[in-house]
Amino acid sequence: MTDTNQATSTSIEQWTSVQAYVLAVICLLVGIAGGWFIRGSQGPATAAAEIPAASAPAMDSANPGAQAPTPAQMQKMADTQAAPLIEKLKADPTNAGLLESIGNVYYDAQQFPTAIDYYQRALKVQPANTGVRTDMATAYWYTGDADTAIAEFQKSLSYEPTKPNTLFNLGIVEWQGKMDIDKATATWQKLLDTNPNYEGKDKVLELMAQAKKHAGVKPGTPAKPLQ
């Protein structure tokens, strides 16, 4: 970070290497983090930036200063969109497709705990659905639970060891959530090695280059997930 380099020698001496690194990563991730995550069932070409906002209304082009929906409004919109699916679920409570669709509605509206609940129910019916498990793991990350996110990504890989979207997202959480640069870059390298025609190769290489700038920092210092 250039701002950090401009600090006085006195202020620099007051920073530990980990503190300085965390600040650098937080500033870096403001521009990168959300836009990199890929939905479990999507390819890199169709991945939405940050959290897809399918449930949010379009911004009024005549009123560019209009505010984005509040969390309460997002919750209400998700509830409205999910209502007919939930009604269908009453007659077929173990329908994994319906459970996944409802989970996706709440995920898109950034209602991650609710999304996790429906994803868990879908996975009880179809535990090997790696797309759902990858989305659930990413939702756990957005709730601030990096450990569970990583565990679920790893479980997804136990069913599909080379699934690119799982490897992609796992590397991000290993980097952002655990500051483990070696693991993150190894995960992304595995993605590239096992998916030679991966369409998102340039994105992976960019992430690896950014992460390697922080190599040598002690792993285990978590960064707060960006919403």
**List of E strands, 135-198:** none
**For the chain, which domains are there?**
2-6+16-51+70-212 (1.25.40.10)
Tens digit of pLDDT for each residue in 140-175? 999 999 999 999 999 999 999 999 999 999 999 999
How far is the C-alpha of 217 from the C-alpha of 13, rounded, in Å? 17
Pair of tokens at residue 132:
């759902």
Res 39: pLDDT: 84
pLDDT-derived band at 38, boundaries 50, 70, 90: confident
Contacts of 119 (CB under 8 A, 6+ apart): 99, 100, 103, 132, 133, 135, 136, 139
CA distance readout (Å), 125 to 94, 107, 112, 114, 182: 7, 19, 20, 18, 35
Tokens 């991000």 locate to 172
pLDDT-derived band at 204, boundaries 50, 70, 90: very high
Tens digit of pLDDT for each residue in 58-86? 334 445 555 778 889 999 999 999 999 99
Pair of tokens at residue 155:
């479980």
Q: How many CB atoms lie within 10 A of CB 128?
A: 12
